[in-house]
Structure 1
Amino acid sequence: MTDPAQPAAPDAPEPAYRAGFACFVGRPNAGKSTLTNAIVGQKIAITSNKPQTTRHVIRGVLHQPQAQLVLVDTPGLHRPRTLLGERLNDLVRATWSEVDVIGLCLPADEQIGPGDRFITGEIEQLRATVIAVVTKIDLIDRSRLAKQLSAVADLADFAEVVPVSAVSGEQVGTLVDVVTTYLPESPQLYPDEMFTEEPTQVLVAELVRESALEGVRDELPHSIAVVVEEMTTEGDLTRIFADLYVERPSQKAIVIGRRGARLKEVGTRARAEIEQLLGGRVYLDLHVRVAKDWQRDPRQLRKLGF
């Protein structure tokens, strides 16, 4: 029972509002884009089991009562073989130099390798707080996870080591809390209703490219680019006309498939994803075009948005 003669305890001060930028880095297929989507709660980054799927810097916004976390999904750092690869690496390094927190993604079911050590060395000298994120913990048992966490802790002097599964959702909330702790005190950066700052046409083009990557040969994914040429809305119907670009006529034949069957499958998958994104019906018209060696041609790269 409270003694009425005692003065009431002062209310605890409101925690400072925090807002800032974070990104997940790691070697191909470490789960970066899947994790970004899981945290934002919206599909803003395409995912694929093909290396170097991500080509654009995409920003997703998570709104919380006392914080705003802006997640930046970047292409993976890799050994470039084309002008496009060089430009993507430059984009990655520029982004890393500007964010507040970097999460190094290390798959729980794979041993730490040279690629992980290389990326660790790249980010150690940056101003950002670096945490280790052990991804895909749903794929292994607890004893194996304990060994992986120990190996990760020995890799570098991380501010934190957080195990997580984007697929099951385990520890995703904990990871958000940890990242938010290291954001600077700041007013809100984006309005409440915004979950990404990317133009809708960019997100639509990425969803078409994701569908086109399904089941293609290993050498083809890097050769596919998508441009939305026209997008109009009439009532609840959005009409989208998009071009898929490849580098050679033989690749065009692969994307189209026998009697157009494969391109039809691409359109069906993409339309379902786009309707979910836009919240309405979609008419999607796709054409495949050849832009010879576009990954090495500065003029073609500019035309395709790189």
Structure 2
Amino acid sequence: MTDFRAYRSVLYLPAANARAVEKARTLAADAVILDLEDAVAADAKAGARAAAAEAVTAGGWGSRTLAIRVNGIGTQWCEADFQAVAAARPDAVVVPKVNSAAEAAEAVRLAGGVPVWAMIETPRGVQAVDAIADTPGVAALVVGAADLEKDLGCRVGPARGEIQYTLQRVVIAARAAGIRAFDAMYPDIKDMEGLETVTLQGRALGFDGKTLIHPAQIETANRVFSPSAAEVEQARRIVAAFEAAKAEGKGVATLDGKLVEVLHAAQARDLIAFAESIAAQ
């Protein structure tokens, strides 16, 4: 991937909550998902759909990525939700409980050219994650841990060992397909220590960012998924060392006693570019 746009913090908001939607335009979240699914009661779906479309067309989101989460394929609200998405043209459409490549392809068709973020939150979805990621038009995978935990009948602890297989499968599938991967939300909005733990874990696993359910969680996600000043400085040293060696006709360099090869220089350049994109927001 050569797109260095930041997706460190991906905030879910109920589309029917006008006050929350307006406030989101001022928050430091990299991306906002206007939710028509879990956060909206059945009798409020139509109003939320209209509000989400209006929020997209009204603009004012700056550099933030703006997405709409529709109700799932096969639900009674699905068709109208996708029609609203295709007309409003948000940056992405988030599709819950994608279970197969066929469902992913149907979502892409219904989205009418809007990039699809497929949620992996069922056992079937985990089994089919490679094919889902490879579906043309799917631009990201999103882990939905709550529904997966329910379907598996497991109890996820602080270390998330019970769903490590899923987390790693999602990252591997996304990287193989050259698309984004977003970690699951953390449900306890008061437990900042727990949030820190799972966010650090998500970055270590290779996710691009974390889905969130409360503005108070944004700072943690942005900080953890941002390169530190020390990391950026080290990356600049790696690039400088490699370029110096290259100028001398060498294929590798040595820095602080460690070998620096072309892949290390490429990784360093990507980190620098990502840091610069964050600074430019």
The structure with the largest strand share of the pair is 1
TM-score (norm 2): 0.31
Question: What is the TM-score when the length of structure 1 is the normalising length?
Answer: 0.29
More helix by share: 2
Bigger Rg over Cα: 1
